[in-house]
Structure 1
Amino acid sequence: MDDQNKNLILATALSFLVILVWFVLFPPPEPATNLEQTEISATDGDGLQTPSAAGPSTIGEATSEPAEAAPEANAPRVEIDTPRLTGSLSLSGGRIDELFLKDYKVSLEDDAPIVELLSPVGSESAYYALYGWAPGAGLAGTDVPGPNTLWQVESGETLGVDSPVTLVWNNGKGLTFRRTIAVDEDYMFTVTQSVENASQTEVGMAPYGILARHGMGEEGDLPGLKNFFILHEGVIGMADGTLSEVDYGDVREFDIDPNERAQAEVYQVKENGWIGFTDHYWMTTLIPEPGSAFKAAAKYDARRKIYQTETVLPTLTVAPGETAQVTTRLFAGAKEWETIREYQAQGVQKFIDSIDWGWFFFLTKPIFWLLHNINALIGNMGWSIIGLTLIIKAILFPLAFKSYVSMAKMKELQPQMEALKEAAGDDRQKLQQGMMELYKKEKVNPAAGCLPILLQIPIFFSLYKVIFVTIELRHAPWFGPFRDLSAPDPTSIMNLFGLLPWAGPEPGTLMATIFIGILPLLLGISMWLQQKLNPAPTDPTQAMIFAWMPWVFMFMLGSFASGLVIYWIANNTITFTQQYLIMRSQGYKPDVFGNIMSSFKRTPKTDDK
């Protein structure tokens, strides 16, 4: 086998390896679960795991007993109506189990329904919040309100901003329980639970809060999950400054034996913390008052396919004639940066970290802050991304200047390097020594061109994370057919790149991969132009591989979010302009549209002799 065939096989193998690694790191979004093919049954009851007064104490310890009866399907309900929320709470268990987000629609269609966050048991994907008391000393389970206890409305008709609702229940043995629920103008509920002891006996009980999600499918998967590599979906919690993230798949491992009690992952919080479920754009979180010690747990019931998080506060002792109360909060809504930051300012410790900033959080946070403020000035996320790219390129310009100057000098030394190769033959040590002496003599640093590229890698990943994760880009328009920068390019040759009034191929399909939109096409052209400024490899096989790379990436990246493709196009265009001008300043006039092997033509300087 000759060297040329060996090089071809090696280059082909490396190309496939690059493509494989890329799709492992950035797989295309999976289609949403078809809810019509899933079933749920509440005939065996809620299956909810309610805490004991002692609360979870050790990892792996069973923390609860299953409830036997299902909540009353026709129980009276109290309406929830705020500027941003609508829904209702059920008097069966006093559950907050029906909640819609008024500001967000499921899709871009005018008649699309608004996003449903919480839903009651018996729906296709039950998801709800429940509060209560775990019985302690001197109490049986029936002496405290359970998850299905039927409450009465004591005051309030509709739960809204500045109009709380109070529920009441009497156990017939001298204990009266009240639950007052309030909500602010955004997504925060405040739940105050109290117990009045009119009996002759001292009692003990522990207040708790529960978030429960009923899973779907054979593996207990939940509908609508993205299952994307760089996105965390599942349990999220903060315990005294330490963030914990557990994917839904890992939560399922907490149930060791589906025929036994649910197993739990337990966190002991001394002063400040919270726990809940987070998805791509939405989140529910149980938040005890700052300064409160509590135990938090995450668990899974495999038989009923229920994911659950809970907070259990220390047991309260209530003497005869006394009243005890405790206040906690519940966040249920969209993961908006400004809203969550405001709640953090109000005392919810590190609540901003509930947004998945990723490994490069030290870059992701300031990049998003900058993008957010640019958008506040411009009012358009597409142009804001381009503005952000200009600022990042301006910051990196000193390094880029050194890189492109070094590249020009390296090209100038290429004939001398070829001569050294011929003189050294197979003696690699002699070749290396000769090249080092040449670099030292000409004051060239061959590594200078790599530094800007290395610095841009974490910046690229950080920006990708920002565009993919933050809700501010969801359904954010740019212009014309680009109505959602978090979605792939909707244009295609099939609709004349958005000029015809019908949609292109469905994103993620083979047709969408083949008939790409205008943004991926511009991306390929910008990559090709930038590549033309770089010295071509001397090996013809490598040169061929590099020549095909822009067009391969054009098809590979066509299914990515439009906002990210806009960044790539802007970055490539600015890089090309910078590199072209810098090389011209160093005495070279790149022939962009000429032969690839003659991309550099020396223009003598006036002081050359």
Structure 2
Amino acid sequence: MDDQNRNLILATALSFLVILVWFLLFPPPESQTAPQTPAVTQADGTVSVPAVASGAGTTQAPTLEVAQTATRAEALNKTERVEIRTARLTGSLSLVGGRVDDLSLNDYFVTVDKGSPNVTLLSPAGVPNAYYALYGWSPAEGLAANAVPGPSTPWRAESGAVLTETTPVTLVWDNGAGLIFRRVIAVDDNFMFTTTQSVENTTAAPVRLAPYGIIARHGIPSDLMNFYILHEGVISVTDGQLNELKYKKIMDLPVDPAEGAAAQRIDVTGNGWIGFTDHYWMTTLIPSPTQPFTAVTKYTQATDTFQTDIRMPVMTVGPGETAQSVTSLFAGAKEWATIRDYQNDMHIDRFVDSIDWGWFFFLTKPIFWVLHQMHALIGNMGLAIIGLTFIIKLLLFPLAYKSYVSMSKMKALQPEMEKLKEAAGDDRVKMQQEMMALYKREKVNPAAGCLPILLQIPIFFSLYKVIFVTLELRHAPFFGWIRDLSAPDPTSWMNFFGLLPWAAPTHASALGILSIGVWPILLGLSMWLQQKLNPAPADKTQAMIFTWMPWIFMFMLGKFASGLVIYWVANNSITFGQQYTIMRTQGIKPDVFGNMLSGLRKLRKAK
């Protein structure tokens, strides 16, 4: 391999190494939250509802202010509630405002430890990081603000004592002036709520009003990862366009005078949805597929509140008539199969893109699909990753075969190249000319070994993306001590892999980067073995860099998700087997293990 091609590989590998080191040592800074109002006066429940324009001017729905509560239990006990109890969800609805503000996920836990609490998704106003959904009506054309239900309206449960998959709940509120509002809330056997809002006009005159839905989030989430590879914040699809705004970007939106806050409004003529996405969870509002609406993202600095709205057009309800509006609320885990089924069955445009597939979606989507199918077949996600590795190596084998044959020929030419080096001395130009002549005479293409290496880089990053962002890898066990493939190998050589009675340094400590487990060590060994099959660089500096590279990568990748490290070990092992076999068929008999034993003997004698 000539210097130009070897430098290409070296530059690629070092670039990859620099990226790893940079993001390990200098992660992106966390977004700064706006100053909080003191706890005793904070308007935790403030929800600003849009004014509806009409010929008579604008009107504004009332706001709700609730003093901050010390505990979640106290906040829940402040209002009368309707229990939510399904196979996958546990929580309650507040009859004040008819809010969905208390929700936990039965199938997901905070940690892998036994007895770990369930993941809490939604929390009521009055607690830190309150997060909830509510619905209402905006009055138009002279209709008084108190004639429609708002965030603090006291609803009454008309039917349904407990919200389950088979028993919806109906809430009712009579404004005492001829308008009767009802809200029928249903939930399916996964994470989709369906809310049917209706208004019955018993007056002698028509009324005009507009339905809306809101998801409010107080403050930036405390568990925000704020990592460059993952989107967290507002996500929406509007007429086929995927939109993503991180919390810092929302705070920096220009102030909209009509909203009185930093805001962005998008008019949607057809299909769309909007909400908040976290690492593994999501809460989104979804109008009917053909329902025009306005998607609004806003941030109110005074209350440190992020908000997403869906606002439907104004409706006219004649005397004796009843009008209704149907919207859906997804509140749950971003399970690929579940979201895909909602997309297909409910015709929710691009709903599966709520999972952050990234720029390499053309690689991440098929990689995840293969993992999903193999996991369904095998039942172990770690074995599915190894199976995926075999498939990738099989697809790349025709190209890899040419590369390994070329490397075999290069290995066979090593003695000739050493002779050329001795004959040329310090004359690099002459040496280069003689080497090119040798390649031409022996019909060797030194660039043939570069392409497989370059192809591995986007595949590696795509798999890293899949392992990092998809829920299916979260808390997925492998064998033995690997109980979570999305987390680093928990063992460490510093306490002899748990056999010695002290804890290993954490990643946050100075020695944390050196504290690696079994799988990262296997990674380093597999890279070193694979390297021994390749021709050594003629340049001493390059040779030294290549010699140290497996051990540097071992520590750099040691804190990555164990699923990714398992993939890399499997990839290196398969590559070693393929290359070793092909080299033998080409008449080259690499004595890797003999050389390794010889080196150990020399080291022992030196001592």
TM range (shorter): 0.7 to 0.9
2:89–2:105 CA contact under 8 A, matched in 1? yes
Range 383-392 or range 95-104, more displaced = 383-392
Structure 2 distance, partners of 1:569, 1:105, is 29
2:378–2:384 CA contact under 8 A, matched in 1? yes
Matches within 5 A, 1:161-560: 161-215=165-219, 221-254=220-253, 256=255, 261-346=260-345, 347-413=347-413, 439-498=439-498, 504-560=504-560
Percent of paired sites with the same residue = 62
Partner of 2:7: none
- 1:530-560, Cα deviation, whole Å (9 max, x unpaired): 1111222222222222211111111111111
Q: Pick from 108, 127, 130: which aligns with 1:126?
A: 130
Structure 2 distance, partners of 1:63, 1:436, is 81
Match for 1:246: what amino acid?
Answer: L
Query: What SS does the aligned partner of 2:447 have?
Result: coil
- 1:401-442, Cα deviation, whole Å (9 max, x unpaired): 1111112223445566677776698685x8777666654444
Q: CA deviation at 1:123?
A: 1.3
1:40–1:124 CA contact under 8 A, matched in 2? no
Q: CA deviation at 1:303?
A: 2.0
Match for 1:565: what amino acid?
Answer: V
Q: Pick from 91, 97, 109: which aligns with 2:95?
A: 91
Match for 1:153: what amino acid?
Answer: A
Match for 1:573: what amino acid?
Answer: S
Flag the 1:511–1:414 CA change in 2: closer, same or farther, 3 A: closer
Match for 1:179: what amino acid?
Answer: R
Flag the 1:433–1:14 CA change in 2: closer, same or farther, 3 A: closer
Query: What SS does the aligned partner of 2:303 have?
Result: coil
Structure 2 distance, partners of 1:163, 1:92, is 21
2:477–2:483 CA contact under 8 A, matched in 1? yes
Query: What SS does the aligned partner of 2:308 have?
Result: strand
Q: CA deviation at 1:53?
A: 2.5
Partner of 2:564: 564
Partner of 1:158: 162
Confirm or deny that 1:117 pairs with 2:121. Answer: yes
1:298–1:310 CA contact under 8 A, matched in 2? yes
Partner of 2:5: none
Q: Pick from 69, 79, 84: which aligns with 2:65?
A: 69
Partner of 1:607: none
Partner of 1:43: 41
2:364–2:466 CA contact under 8 A, matched in 1? yes
Q: CA deviation at 1:54?
A: 4.5
Q: CA deviation at 1:509?
A: 3.7
Structure 2 distance, partners of 1:13, 1:435, is 22
- 1:209-265, Cα deviation, whole Å (9 max, x unpaired): 1111111xxxxx320011111011111111122111111111111254999911212
Structure 1 distance, partners of 2:184, 2:567, is 48
2:30–2:226 CA contact under 8 A, matched in 1? no
Query: What SS does the aligned partner of 1:162 have?
Result: coil
Structure 1 distance, partners of 2:215, 2:396, is 46
Query: What SS does the aligned partner of 2:111 have?
Result: coil
Q: CA deviation at 1:499?
A: 5.4
- 1:585-608, Cα deviation, whole Å (9 max, x unpaired): 111112324669x99xxxxxxxxx
Flag the 1:133–1:66 CA change in 2: closer, same or farther, 3 A: closer
1:486–1:562 CA contact under 8 A, matched in 2? yes
Flag the 1:39–1:593 CA change in 2: closer, same or farther, 3 A: farther
Structure 1 distance, partners of 2:468, 2:176, is 54
Query: What SS does the aligned partner of 1:559 have?
Result: coil
- 1:478-522, Cα deviation, whole Å (9 max, x unpaired): 112111111111112355325579865445444442232111111
Range 190-199 or range 484-493, more displaced = 484-493
Match for 2:312: what amino acid?
Answer: L
Structure 2 distance, partners of 1:145, 1:195, is 10
Match for 1:300: what amino acid?
Answer: Y
Match for 1:120: what amino acid?
Answer: P
Structure 2 distance, partners of 1:462, 1:534, is 26
Partner of 1:23: 21
Q: How many residues align?
A: 573
Q: CA deviation at 1:201?
A: 2.2
- 1:165-223, Cα deviation, whole Å (9 max, x unpaired): 111111122111111100001000000000111112221111111111111xxxxx320
Flag the 1:388–1:64 CA change in 2: closer, same or farther, 3 A: farther
Structure 2 distance, partners of 1:209, 1:199, is 26
Q: CA deviation at 1:25?
A: 4.9
Confirm or deny that 1:106 pairs with 2:110. Answer: yes
Flag the 1:265–1:64 CA change in 2: closer, same or farther, 3 A: farther
Query: What SS does the aligned partner of 2:251 have?
Result: helix
Range 489-498 or range 361-370, more displaced = 489-498
Partner of 2:84: 80
Partner of 1:4: none
1:490–1:504 CA contact under 8 A, matched in 2? no
1:255–1:302 CA contact under 8 A, matched in 2? no
Match for 2:51: what amino acid?
Answer: S
1:258–1:301 CA contact under 8 A, matched in 2? no
Unpaired segments of 5 or more residues in structure 1? Answer: 1-11, 56-61, 216-220, 600-609
- 1:552-581, Cα deviation, whole Å (9 max, x unpaired): 111111111111111111111111111111
Match for 1:239: what amino acid?
Answer: T
Query: What SS does the aligned partner of 2:449 have?
Result: coil
Query: What SS does the aligned partner of 1:587 have?
Result: coil
Cα RMSD (Å): 3.3
Partner of 1:135: 139
Structure 1 distance, partners of 2:26, 2:188, is 38
1:403–1:452 CA contact under 8 A, matched in 2? yes
Match for 1:471: what amino acid?
Answer: L
Match for 2:313: what amino acid?
Answer: P
User: TM-score with structure 1 length normalisation?
Assistant: 0.86
Q: CA deviation at 1:311?
A: 0.6
Flag the 1:63–1:374 CA change in 2: closer, same or farther, 3 A: farther
Unpaired segments of 5 or more residues in structure 2? Answer: 1-9, 69-74, 600-607
Query: What SS does the aligned partner of 2:446 have?
Result: coil
1:28–1:508 CA contact under 8 A, matched in 2? no
Query: What SS does the aligned partner of 1:449 have?
Result: helix
Flag the 1:18–1:69 CA change in 2: closer, same or farther, 3 A: closer
2:37–2:303 CA contact under 8 A, matched in 1? no
Query: What SS does the aligned partner of 2:557 have?
Result: helix
User: TM-score with structure 2 length normalisation?
Assistant: 0.87
Flag the 1:229–1:247 CA change in 2: closer, same or farther, 3 A: same
Q: Pick from 148, 153, 157: which aligns with 1:149?
A: 153
- 1:75-125, Cα deviation, whole Å (9 max, x unpaired): 211100000000001011110000000001111222211000000011121
Structure 2 distance, partners of 1:134, 1:587, is 82
- 1:10-64, Cα deviation, whole Å (9 max, x unpaired): xx9999976442233566989999xxxx997373432222122349xxxxxx997
Match for 2:162: what amino acid?
Answer: T
Structure 2 distance, partners of 1:42, 1:136, is 35
2:62–2:145 CA contact under 8 A, matched in 1? no
Range 373-382 or range 65-74, more displaced = 65-74
